Chain A
């Protein structure tokens, strides 16, 4: 078995615990790493070749990467110019020091940046709270209602001493986070309705839901966003305008819901017919049967594909840039438009990628925890 070099130490540590057979031979006890490597990395000619190739690849890539990203990097500049970076062979992380506010908040009025910062912090804190099972009670719902009001007030302002900031000026991380979060929260219930509708016995409902899902799945998100931002206003009566951000959000929501619906439908199909029959026989109405019996079991089964779709939705928010909204990625691009810092675009994109990765990785890990946490009852 081949493992990358940086995994070897972990693997050795694990081998101590998991493979007591290794420790049986006393002669090898001191040189466990060596015997491990011999039996796992050099146990055959092809494996030896692959191991050597992997080591070569790591040798060629890791040290240059470290020297670029860490050892030779410029972390700050005193004069506010990129001169120090241009003289260095390393990464120019000083870019973050100079441009972080533009990257994080886009074109939101500069002196008001504390407002989106605070709003984002509140939302992240609420997300972290909601993730924990011990806070799953009705009060959490009210807390979220309060959060929506406070965040809306912080972002829009217009009363209680805050100046009004129109949505066209919103941008950066708050925009990305808001679009993804609202998109997911709105798309999820819609997807459940669509999935149930597609399995309905009523031909009209079934046809509408199936048609919707197949239509939306058949077009790219970019075209949905274009429709929402360019075509849709053409059909509105004179003088009526709908906020561009809202239109993009609606586009994202409708798009995500179609994909989610298929994931949910997969879960519904996995529930034995007998469950519905038992609920019917007890006299439960259709909606109660779905809410109390079928959906709790079905959704638990499809947590992985659902979270997959959430992650996808989070990253897809970067496409709203094509309708002129400044999400995190677009704001990063805007920050790099400054000729002084333009040569250091790689650092900018690496930083943006890191932010996306943090959120997506959290979602991924959380879904794994949630699966285990909700496994009660199905566990024997």
Chain B
């Protein structure tokens, strides 16, 4: 782990109309670091990671990704998006394209690499997420777990240096959660920089370098997992952990 942060949020503010969703949010992620963000719904955690690749615009503070500051400059936004992969809660695969085409689309049209090369890479990634035999199918023909693994492979096809996961297992049936988490754990083991919004505390214990707890638009607590789970400083964190681990 080198010391310079690859993702840095400094006093970030965001409003939806009059509603203040992000209040003085600070976050610093180093290369190779795995950050797991948790918190009750409506706490702004999804909004925060969506600000990192500018799916949402922030109105105050600074966001610096890979040394580039996010502002209205379209070129900077595109450069950051090329380097930041994202996995969504609802997969958002392209239903009119085959699995293989979903994976090769961005490499072909954004990076302009040759088709054969893009397809090779895509097949390698499909092997990595353990569904190479589904390449010719359409997303609608796959199970939720398979679709989410395709979505991870699609993001990886751009060879990003940072991966954002926005509640990747929340829309899955319970028996499919593990197959997706296994892929994410494997990815973490390979040294990928990851920011994950998730409620999977088992996963968090296994891979997180840093835990972030958010509530009401603020970062309440940032701590290494051992300390976070065994001795949280804030009462609010303790309450939340009690609720989700307690049962």
Which B114-144 residues have a C-beta within 8 angstroms of A? 138-141
Chain A at the B interface: mostly helix, strand, loop or mixed?
helix
Partner of B88, one of A274, A284, A297, A379: A274
Which B1-55 residues have a C-beta within 8 angstroms of A? 53-55
Flag whether A371 is at the interface (Cβ < 8 A): no
Interface digits, B75-119 against A, CB 8 Å rule (1 contact, 0 not)? 000100110111010101111111000000110011000000000
Q: Tell whether, in the assembled complex, residue B96 and residue A300 are in contact, meaning their CB atoms are under 8 Å apart.
A: yes
| Known contacts A274-B90, A292-B109, A379-B140; A283 and B96 CB within 8 A of each other | no
Flag whether A12 is at the interface (Cβ < 8 A): no
Q: Tell whether, in the assembled complex, residue A296 and residue B158 are in contact, meaning their CB atoms are under 8 Å apart.
A: no
Flag whether A380 is at the interface (Cβ < 8 A): yes
How many inter-chain residue pairs (CB < 8 Å) link A and B?
72
Chain B nearest CB from A313 CB (Å) reads 27
Give chain A residues whose Cβ lies under 8 Å from the Cβ of B88.
274, 277-278, 281
Chain B nearest CB from A143 CB (Å) reads 25
Chain B nearest CB from A53 CB (Å) reads 49
Query: Which residue of chain A is the closest to B89 with respect to CB atoms?
Result: A274
Give chain B residues whose Cβ lies under 8 Å from the Cβ of A272.
92
Query: Which residue of chain A is the closest to B90 with respect to CB atoms?
Result: A274
Flag whether B149 is at the interface (Cβ < 8 A): no
Flag whether A376 is at the interface (Cβ < 8 A): yes
Flag whether A243 is at the interface (Cβ < 8 A): no
In the bound complex, CA of A380 to CA of B142 (Å): 9
Flag whether A285 is at the interface (Cβ < 8 A): yes
Give chain A residues whose Cβ lies under 8 Å from the Cβ of B97.
377
Q: Tell whether, in the assembled complex, residue B96 and residue A278 are in contact, meaning their CB atoms are under 8 Å apart.
A: no
Query: Which residue of chain B is the closest to A288 with respect to CB atoms?
Result: B109
In the bound complex, CA of A113 to CA of B159 (Å): 63
Flag whether A61 is at the interface (Cβ < 8 A): no
| Known contacts A283-B82, A377-B138; A293 and B94 CB within 8 A of each other | yes
Chain B nearest CB from A288 CB (Å) reads 5
Query: Which residue of chain A is the closest to B106 with respect to CB atoms?
Result: A282
Give chain A residues whose Cβ lies under 8 Å from the Cβ of B58.
none
Give chain B residues whose Cβ lies under 8 Å from the Cβ of A300.
96
| Known contacts A377-B138, A377-B140, A380-B140; A283 and B94 CB within 8 A of each other | no
Q: Tell whether, in the assembled complex, residue B110 and residue A278 are in contact, meaning their CB atoms are under 8 Å apart.
A: no
Q: Tell whether, in the assembled complex, residue B55 and residue A277 are in contact, meaning their CB atoms are under 8 Å apart.
A: yes
What are 24 A-B interface contacts by the 8 Å CB criterion?
A274-B88, A275-B92, A275-B94, A277-B88, A278-B92, A278-B151, A281-B55, A281-B81, A281-B88, A281-B155, A282-B105, A283-B78, A283-B82, A284-B105, A284-B110, A285-B78, A288-B109, A292-B105, A292-B109, A297-B95, A300-B96, A377-B138, A378-B95, A380-B141
The 4 A-B residue pairs whose C-beta atoms are closest, nearest first, are: A278-B92, A282-B106, A283-B81, A274-B92
